[in-house]
């Protein structure tokens, strides 16, 4: 019996929600609303509440994932650059240069969010994400250039190293001829 009364109550509530509404304008301009006919009232049609349905997303898999799940999915994906090379090439020698240009070549190109760490003799050069650097002055000796590329989570994606040499003959080189002696004053 209680179930019957409950179901009847619910049906009445549902019927009332779609029933006609009446409005009456009072002498002072206020309006009175009722779900039953009222003396001097007029039936009105009340429009349903505005609703919104989001369009379906073309990306079905990642749109339903929480931020944490999306992050874990991205972290699980393994990406590596096909090639990671440095200029100058290993064991390249420069004689009397004013400067030496350094460069990083990545295949494919650097992805958004990846971080490049370019170093010469262990010191970071060129600023954040530098792909080129001009070493000026170029001091004599051997120099090691290294590059490491990491993704935004800190995972290494590629690295390379190259050692080049700067040769600057001294003034005391045997190949250098001494200037002729100054003439002695006569006198």
> Per residue in 39-87, pLDDT tens?
888 888 877 777 877 776 555 444 566 777 776 666 666 778 888 999 9
The CATH fold of domain 83-167 = Immunoglobulin-like (2.60.40)
> Per residue in 99-149, pLDDT tens?
999 999 999 899 888 999 999 999 999 888 899 999 999 999 999 999 999
Instruction: Enumerate the domain spans of the chain.
Output: 2-44, 83-167
* Residues composing the chain: 187
What the block records as the tokens of 68 is 């944490």
The structure's pTM equals 0.52
């Amino acid at each position: 019996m209680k179930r019957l009364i409950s179901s009847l109550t619910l049906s009445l509530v549902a019927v009332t929600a779609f029933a006609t509404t009446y409005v009456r304008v009072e002498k002072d301009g206020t309006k009175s609303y009722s779900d039953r006919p009222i003396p001097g009232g007029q039936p009105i049609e009340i429009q349903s509440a505005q609703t919104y349905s989001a369009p379906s997303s073309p990306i079905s898999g990642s749109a339903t994932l929480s931020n944490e799940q999306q992050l874990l999915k991205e972290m699980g994906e393994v990406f590596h650059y096909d090639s990671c090379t440095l200029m100058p090439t290993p064991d390249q020698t420069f004689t009397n240069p004013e400067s030496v240009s350094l460069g990083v070549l990545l295949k494919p190109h650097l992805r958004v969010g990846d971080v490049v760490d370019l170093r010469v003799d262990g010191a970071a050069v060129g600023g954040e994400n530098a792909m080129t650097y001009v070493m000026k002055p170029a001091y004599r000796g051997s120099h090691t250039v290294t590059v490491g590329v990491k993704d935004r989570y800190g995972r290494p994606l590629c690295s390379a190293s190259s050692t080049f040499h700067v040769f600057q003959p001294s003034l005391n080189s045997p190949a250098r001829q001494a200037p002729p002696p100054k003439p002695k004053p006569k006198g």
